[in-house]
């Protein structure tokens, strides 16, 4: 199969690697030329890691994988390649306005047969297909980070998605070694509907001075078996993406638990994005040994201070 992939950031790169590892072509574009240029080498490294993990006995594995990756510096030639693809996968920022603008421009240029997949982690597929057209061939395929290592893919059909598209998608994902499962088209679907409020609550408790990064994650890891805990997961998702997801879910649901805590906004403003920027809830200067940061400067003491005055 041939995939056209728009967005070569964290998740786009995961999907490119997954496609290329499983013998599919990945034709890629990103509006940021630097991000696009860095994608093939990143995917080769990720592929090599996967080969080790899967104990693949093929010295040409990474070379073959790399040969399946094609990048296009200008949008017009990307769209020319996309016209010959089976699937158009969007992996751009979690911003409904942006997604609608981009899809409204690009999807109508493609032949009818192309199936549209969105890797959105929370947004309404019906609103995307409203501007992109082909509502019967539009579906969410929400992969988890890092895509090649996490088998789960949330498959979310819209109101008008055809049963053939659902079948095609589940079948193709299974052939790619993924574990697709059906989820409802509600803000956050199944996984993030449960996970995001919990992650935001953790930050709220941190900014109230109730918990520290280290104790919080150790507790979740040793008591609930969460491999990373919540703050490390924040650092992998990155603060800007968490902020976007929270704001989009809040706007779509009006649920106050989705309203992003002030700390997230401050971290974005300070460039403390997480693992990729070297600093988030953890200090990532040694990526193999991230150290919990003292974030007491982010504690909002106002309520406690007021109570002290009253007592």
Ligand X SMILES: NC(=O)c1ccc[n+]([C@@H]2O[C@H](COP(=O)([O-])OP(=O)(O)OC[C@H]3O[C@@H](n4cnc5c(N)ncnc54)[C@H](O)[C@@H]3O)[C@@H](O)[C@H]2O)c1
| Among 23, 32, 45, 215, contact with ligand X (rule: CB under 6 A) | 32
What region does 114 belong to: left with phi over 0, alpha with psi -120 to 50, or beta? Answer: beta
Q: How far is the CB of 64 from ligand X (least distance, A)?
A: 25
Of the pair 172, 237, the CB lying nearest ligand X is at: 237
Rounded to the nearest 5 degrees, what angle is found at the Cα of 148, between the Cα atoms of 103 and 138? 25
Q: Which of 18, 68, 119, 129 binds ligand X (CB under 6 A)?
A: 119
Q: Does 31 bind ligand X (CB under 6 A)?
A: yes
Kindly determine how many residues on this chain lie close enough to bind ligand X according to the rule CB under 6 A: 25
Residue 94 binds ligand X, judged by CB under 6 A: yes
Mode of pairing for the β-strands spanning 25-29 and 69-71: parallel
Instruction: Give the nearest distance from C-beta 5 to ligand X in angstroms.
Output: 10
Choose between 38 and 133: whose C-beta lies nearer to ligand X.
38
The smaller minimum CB distance to ligand X, of residues 8 and 161, is found at 8
Alpha-carbon distance of 67 to 168, in angstroms, equals 25
Question: Which span (41-49, 94-102, 264-272, 280-288) binds ligand X, by CB under 6 A?
Answer: 94-102
CB of 41 to ligand X, least distance (A): 15
Site of interaction with ligand X (CB under 6 A): 6-12, 30-32, 35, 91-94, 98, 102, 119-121, 142, 145, 237, 241, 245
């Amino acid at each position: 199969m041939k995939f056209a992939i728009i967005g070569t950031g964290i998740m786009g790169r995961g999907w490119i690697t997954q496609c290329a590892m499983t013998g599919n072509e990945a034709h890629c574009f990103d509006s940021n030329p630097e991000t696009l240029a860095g994608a093939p080498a990143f995917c080769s490294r990720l592929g090599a890691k996967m080969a080790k993990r899967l104990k693949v006995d093929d010295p040409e594995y990474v070379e073959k994988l790399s040969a399946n990756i094609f990048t296009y510096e200008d949008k017009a030639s990307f769209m020319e390649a996309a016209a010959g693809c089976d699937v158009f996968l969007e992996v751009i920022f979690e911003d409904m306005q942006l997604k609608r603008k981009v899809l409204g421009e690009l999807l109508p240029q493609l032949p009818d047969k192309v199936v549209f997949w969105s890797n959105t982690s929370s947004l309404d597929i019906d609103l995307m297909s409203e501007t992109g057209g082909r509502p019967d061939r539009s579906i969410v395929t929400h992969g988890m980070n890092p895509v090649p290592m996490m088998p789960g893919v949330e498959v979310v059909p819209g109101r008008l998605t055809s049963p053939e598209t659902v079948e095609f998608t589940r079948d193709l994902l299974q052939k790619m070694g993924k574990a697709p499962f059906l989820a409802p088209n509600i803000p956050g679907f199944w996984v993030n509907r449960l996970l995001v409020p919990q992650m935001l609550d953790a930050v709220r408790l941190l900014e109230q001075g109730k918990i520290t990064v280290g104790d919080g994650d150790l507790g979740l890891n040793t008591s609930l078996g969460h491999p990373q805990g919540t703050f490390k997961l924040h650092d992998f998702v990155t603060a800007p993406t968490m902020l976007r997801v929270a704001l989009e879910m809040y706007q779509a649901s009006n649920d106050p638990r989705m309203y992003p805590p002030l700390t997230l906004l401050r971290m974005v403003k300070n460039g403390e994005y997480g693992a990729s920027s070297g600093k988030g809830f953890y200090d990532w200067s040694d990526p193999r040994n991230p150290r919990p940061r003292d974030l007491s400067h982010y504690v909002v003491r106002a309520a406690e201070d007021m109570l002290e005055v009253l007592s």
